[in-house]
Amino acid sequence: MTMKRTHRIGHEALRPGLLLIGLIASPIACGSDAGSPTGAGGSAATAGSAGLAGAGTSSIAGTSSGAGTTATSGSSGTGPAIGGAGGGGSPTSALGGSSGAAGSGQAGAGGSGGGGSGGSAASCPMPALKPGDSDGMLTSGGNNRVYKLHVPAAYDGKKAVPLVIDFHGLSGDGKGELGSSPYPAQTDADGVIMAFPTGLPGPSSNAWNVGPCCVKNTDDVAFAKALVAEIAKTACIDAKRVYAVGFSMGGGMSHYLACHAADVFAAVAPAAFDLLKENVDDCKPQRPISVVSFRSTGDGVVNYAGGYSMAVQGMPINFLGAKATFEKWAQLNQCSGAASAEDANGCASYSGCAGGVDVVLCTKQGGTHEPGNAKVAWPLLKMHTLP
């Protein structure tokens, strides 16, 4: 199949003088509205036990340990705590450095908490990012990788917010994806930070490495994880609510991250792409993960029924097909029973999946090779957090 890029996103050349996002910032205390029984990702401390310093430990995964345990002194550092520290000790970030001073720990909360209100809160980098769009760059796998960062007006830097990574289609770039993505219009009101990375050049221009296609010699899973960590240095991100979305080849990257990075991404919403026969057997998520797929029956680039494609020269692939991909995700997530009938938006779903996740396929009758419906996707995505 020849890919006709009538819907290509972003052919603008990258602009010089990119602003490096990721300056070292000092944190302030902030709360997360993610809502877990023991605080924002932390473990509850035994009531009445006291940590003298540096009692809580958090990581990018949002886990916490040892809240309320005794320590003799706190250490200082530059890294923010992502995911709440349990109990009431000073948080320590796996992203680099710890924060605390001798005698700063407080008595354990004894299991209180609710979205950051119980135990100690996560730390928000300061100064807070200003609303607007900016250029960022980081080094991953020996390559300089660039992205656009979108900060909505509703973001004030005082509480942890979700992060959505939006991946462009074949031959696109982050700037073009930012300009055409349907997601900011739906996520901005929630203060959601969005990032729009640019893939490395392949045989058909910028692309993502999803195994058999479509750019060689790069680990885009590692890059995606590094991007999340980089943004968390300057933005107050809730590590339990990081999501991947994407159009076309970017949808393929979203599927691939669900397969290989479910420890970082809480849920994904790919559009106009399916799982691939060449590597579907390697799709082994570390945990159940929600997948909301968007497909059109009239897609002339990625056939709804699946099949062969030579969109990228020398890298042939075989799509599993929209319904077969839907059923495969239901199998991987151990969903029970049959899928529901399609609703008014053309969405069918499996219920009774492991971990309470959702597996959804939204089908547009007719249509073309096009992005998904963010009005449907975002309410579903934000319901799900990392365990």
In the prediction, which pLDDT does 345 show?
97
In the prediction, which pLDDT does 286 show?
97
In the prediction, which pLDDT does 339 show?
97
In the prediction, which pLDDT does 351 show?
86
If DSSP codes are grouped into helix, strand and coil, which group holds residue 118?
coil
What number of CA atoms fall less than 13 Å from residue 332's CA on the CB side? 26
Bridge-based pairing of strands 237-247 and 159-167 is: parallel
User: Tokens for 277?
Assistant: 């026969």
In the prediction, which pLDDT does 115 show?
38
- 236, with CB counted inside 10 A (0-12, 13-18, 19+), is buried
Kindly state the percentage of the chain with pLDDT values over 90: 67
In the prediction, which pLDDT does 73 show?
34
Residues of the chain short of pLDDT 50, as ranges, are 1-121
DSSP state of 45: P
Between CA 227 and CA 284 the distance in angstroms is: 22
In the prediction, which pLDDT does 14 show?
32
Model pLDDT for residues 39-54, shown as the tens digit of each residue: 333 333 333 333 323 3
Model pLDDT for residues 161-182, shown as the tens digit of each residue: 999 999 999 999 999 999 999 9
If DSSP codes are grouped into helix, strand and coil, which group holds residue 224?
helix
In the prediction, which pLDDT does 123 show?
84
In the prediction, which pLDDT does 122 show?
54
